[in-house]
Amino acid sequence: MTIDQLRELCLSFPGVTEDLKWGADICFSVGAKMFCVTGEWGGASFKVTPEEFDEITERDGIEPAHYMARNKWVTVQEFNKLKPKEWKHYIGQSYELIRAKLPKKVQQSL
């Protein structure tokens, strides 16, 4: 996975927007709620299920995301820490987890 491939994956979901936050972080959002953050640092942060959180953070190069761990976000420090199939799973799941929390009216408009 590269930053360009991650960008393409994130933008493939309905209603996704992209913007810069905190100077250089690329944020992908649905309904104005972030579901993935990446940048020049060569990794990404995203939301996982509570069941997956402990398991995935035990893997080398994957840690609880700063300030967002309580919401079950993780940071993958380098793109090569996950296989392409895993990236698709986790990013798609993060999108769905965030989308599911949006008001029904917003969900229907996507």
The domain of 56 spans 3-100
Q: Which of 2-6, 60-64, 102-106 has the highest mean pLDDT?
A: 60-64
- Per-residue pLDDT, averaged over 57-78, amounts to 94
CA distances from residue 28 to 56, 62, 71, 98 in whole angstroms, order as listed: 21, 20, 17, 11
Percent over 70 (pLDDT), the chain: 100
- With respect to residue 21, please indicate whether it lies within any of the assigned structural domains: yes
What's the confidence (pLDDT) of residue 86? Answer: 97
Mean pLDDT score, 67-79? 94
105 assigned to some structural domain: no
Q: Is the predicted pLDDT of residue 40 greater than 90, yes or no?
A: no
Model confidence at 63, in pLDDT bands (50, 70, 90)?
very high
In this predicted structure, the answer to whether residue 41 has a pLDDT above a threshold of 80 is no
Mean pLDDT, residues 16-30 taken together = 93
Q: How many independent structural domains does the chain possess? A: 1
Look up the CATH number of the domain holding residue 45.
Answer: 3.90.1150.30
The answer to the question of residue 110 being in a domain is: no
Q: Is residue 42 part of a domain?
A: yes
The two tokens of residue 69 are: 């761990």
Q: pTM, whole model, 2 decimals? A: 0.92
pLDDT of residue 22: 81
Helix (H, G, I), strand (E, B) or coil at 75: strand
Amino acid at site 12: S
26 in any annotated domain: yes
Q: What is the mean pLDDT of the chain?
A: 93
